[in-house]
């Protein structure tokens, strides 16, 4: 079994195509069932990460090539023809390195953004709970999270940290002379929506309403909670909205050009800023054609600002060096554990066939390895596994084997 992954991201695929390969609450159970039923015999453990920047699937597999797994997965999502050429694949150490880059924010469109590590951890928790993630892949994710944290805390990669909600706020601050006087409506009730509300409220934008499919109380912090209005009242609600932010799971846009056109008439063509954080998108792109509607998608807002990019780029180089060193240590630790495991089983076999006199001589020896060589109890190629151990380690292992 070897670690493998495949996926698409903002570097290989534009937003309109990334929308075709999204794993979210609406299709996650179906994806898990599909993956287990079709590839269960070749896969030990798996999980997937799907954000506005990427969708990736990670797993341990006995297959040398995973092209067929990736292709069938795209077919399951109905996206095989358009996305096949955009897929990337990583295996082994390269896969570990890529996962560390992703979790630390080094592979994000906004370099060093802070939300990805939380998304990575949440995905791990979800797939562990669903009994898809276990064994060596689960242990590896612990190492990857630890490495990603080190890359962030031991460098300034997150200097003046940016987030999608932070970038959304920056757009608002650049467009409106006095953002605090504007009315904000957020569509959605997930973590992104809560982050937007908290960020805006902390920056004096307090006229906030929320819309969701079902009635829900959004607890933003200890001092702020908002009750959502049903989605059916969207048209009426946004007539008094100056800033509309959407972040809701939907396979198709829930806000079309016709609705915004009608709302604009009711508003007397008062300008409206629309920020679509959904992937797939929540707002039809044709809304851009309306004169007083200013639409920004997730791609647009991430290109608006690259503040401190030079500083963060320099820190990214340091972060990559840290990741490389820690992966090297991780590989060495794994090799050491395997070598000790091999030595243990060889020594166990030797002891099982050893006379009592030889055993007594061995445990009293100050150089047990030389004693084993002189006793001629095993071929040299087997003894080689034991040669790397210290005399103390060999004697400790002997006592452990005998007491087992």
**Better-scored residue on pLDDT, 399 or 58:** 58
Pairing mode of beta strands 88-91, 229-230: unpaired
Taking 70 as the threshold, does the pLDDT of residue 286 lie above it? yes
pLDDT score of 222: 86
Q: Phi/psi of residue 342, each to 5°?
A: -65, -45
- Do 219 and 248 fall within a single domain? yes
pLDDT score of 104: 95
DSSP letters, 147-192, are HHHHHHHSS-TTSS---HHHHHHHHHHHH-S-GGGS-EEEE--SHH
* H-run or E-run covering 7: strand 2-9
DSSP letters, 249-287, are --SS-SB-HHHHHHHHHHTTS--EEEEE--SS-SB-GGG
Q: Which domain holds residue 56?
A: 2-156
Q: Residue 88 domain-assigned?
A: yes
Q: Residue 396 domain-assigned?
A: yes
Omega cis (within 30) before 301:
no
Q: What residue numbers does the annotated binding site for NADP(+) cover?
A: 188-193
- Do 152 and 203 fall within a single domain? no
177, with CB counted inside 10 A (0-12, 13-18, 19+), is: exposed
Q: Residue 291 domain-assigned?
A: yes
- Rounding to the nearest 10 degrees, give the CA dihedral for residues 187, 192, 194, 196: -80
- Rounding to the nearest 10 degrees, give the CA dihedral for residues 341, 344, 345, 348: -170
- Do 17 and 39 fall within a single domain? yes
Pairing mode of beta strands 272-276, 293-297: parallel
Q: What's the CATH code of the domain at 12?
A: 3.30.460.30
pLDDT score of 306: 63
pLDDT score of 264: 93
Q: How many domains does the chain have?
A: 3
> Confidence band (pLDDT; 50, 70, 90) for 379?
confident
* H-run or E-run covering 124: helix 116-129
- Do 199 and 268 fall within a single domain? yes
Q: Which of 304, 320, 354 is the last residue of a domain?
A: 304
User: pLDDT, tens digit, for every residue of 110-132?
Assistant: 888 888 999 999 999 999 999 99
Average pLDDT score over residue span 260-285: 94
Q: Residue 355 domain-assigned?
A: no
- Do 223 and 286 fall within a single domain? yes
Q: What residue numbers does the annotated binding site cover?
A: 51-54, 108, 113-115, 119, 188-193
Q: Residue 151 domain-assigned?
A: yes
Q: Residue 135 domain-assigned?
A: yes
- Do 111 and 241 fall within a single domain? no
- Do 66 and 180 fall within a single domain? no
Q: What's the CATH code of the domain at 270?
A: 3.40.50.720
Pairing mode of beta strands 43-50, 54-61: antiparallel
Distance CA 287, CA 255 (A): 9
Cβ neighbour number for residue 393 with a 10 Å cutoff: 14
Check: pTM over 0.85? Answer yes or no: no
- Do 48 and 70 fall within a single domain? yes
- Do 400 and 281 fall within a single domain? no
Average pLDDT score over residue span 307-329: 89
Cβ neighbour number for residue 65 with a 10 Å cutoff: 11
In the block, which residue shows the tokens 């079709």?
38
Taking the CA atoms of 390, 393, 399 and 402 in sequence, report the sign of the dihedral they define. negative
Q: Which of 238, 271, 304 is the last residue of a domain?
A: 304
- Do 119 and 138 fall within a single domain? yes
Q: Residue 294 domain-assigned?
A: yes
> Confidence band (pLDDT; 50, 70, 90) for 234?
very high
Percentage of residues in the chain having pLDDT higher than 90:
62
- Do 88 and 115 fall within a single domain? yes
Q: Residue 313 domain-assigned?
A: no
Is the separation of the CB atoms in 48 and 23 below 8 Å? yes
Sequence-separated (6 or more) residues with CB below 8 Å from residue 233: 211
132, with CB counted inside 10 A (0-12, 13-18, 19+), is: buried
- Do 7 and 139 fall within a single domain? yes
Q: Which of 304, 325, 344 is the last residue of a domain?
A: 304
pLDDT score of 107: 94
pLDDT score of 160: 65
Sequence-separated (6 or more) residues with CB below 8 Å from residue 163: 110, 113, 114, 115, 195, 199
Active centre residues (catalytic) = 52
Average pLDDT score over residue span 293-322: 84
């Amino acid at each position: 079994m070897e670690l493998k992954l495949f996926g698409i991201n903002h570097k290989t695929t534009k937003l309109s195509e990334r929308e075709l390969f999204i794993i979210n609450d609406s299709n996650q159970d179906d994806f898990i069932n599909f993956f287990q039923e079709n590839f269960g015999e070749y896969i030990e453990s798996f999980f997937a990460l799907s954000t506005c920047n990427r969708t990736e699937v990670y797993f341990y597999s006995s297959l040398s090539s995973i092209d067929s797994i990736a292709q069938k997965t795209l077919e399951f999502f109905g996206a095989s023809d358009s996305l096949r050429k955009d897929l990337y694949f990583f295996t082994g150490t390269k896969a570990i390195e890529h996962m560390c880059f992703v979790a630390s924010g080094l592979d994000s469109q906004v370099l060093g953004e802070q939300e990805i590590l939380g998304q990575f951890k949440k995905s791990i928790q979800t797939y562990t709970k669903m009994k898809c993630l276990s064994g060596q892949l689960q242990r590896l994710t612990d190492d990857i999270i630890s490495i990603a944290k080190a890359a962030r805390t031991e460098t300034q990669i997150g200097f003046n940290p940016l987030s999608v909600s932070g970038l959304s706020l920056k757009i608002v601050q650049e467009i409106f002379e006095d953002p605090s006087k504007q009315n904000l409506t957020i569509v959605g009730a997930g973590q992104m929506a809560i982050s937007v509300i908290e960020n805006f409220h902390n920056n004096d934008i307090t006229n906030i309403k929320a819309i969701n499919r079902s009635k829900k109380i959004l607890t933003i912090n200890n001092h702020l909670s908002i009750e959502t209005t049903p989605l059916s009242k969207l048209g009426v609600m946004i007539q008094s909205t100056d800033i509309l932010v959407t972040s809701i799971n939907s396979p198709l846009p829930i806000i079309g050009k016709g609705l915004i056109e009608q709302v604009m008439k009711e508003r007397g063509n008062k300008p409206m800023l629309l920020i679509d954080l959904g992937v797939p998108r929540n707002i039809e792109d044709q809304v851009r054609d309306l004169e007083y509607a200013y639409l920004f998608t997730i791609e647009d807002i991430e290109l608006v600002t690259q503040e401190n990019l030079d500083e963060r780029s320099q820190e990214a180089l340091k972060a990559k060096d840290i990741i490389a060193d820690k992966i090297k240590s991780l590989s060495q630790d794994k090799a050491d554990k395997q070598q000790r495991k091999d030595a243990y089983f060889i020594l166990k076999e030797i002891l099982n066939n050893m006379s009592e006199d030889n055993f007594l001589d061995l445990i009293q020896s100050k150089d047990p390895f030389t004693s084993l060589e002189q006793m001629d109890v095993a071929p040299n190629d087997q003894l080689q596994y034991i040669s790397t151990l210290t005399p103390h380690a060999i004697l400790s292992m002997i006592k452990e084997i005998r007491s087992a």
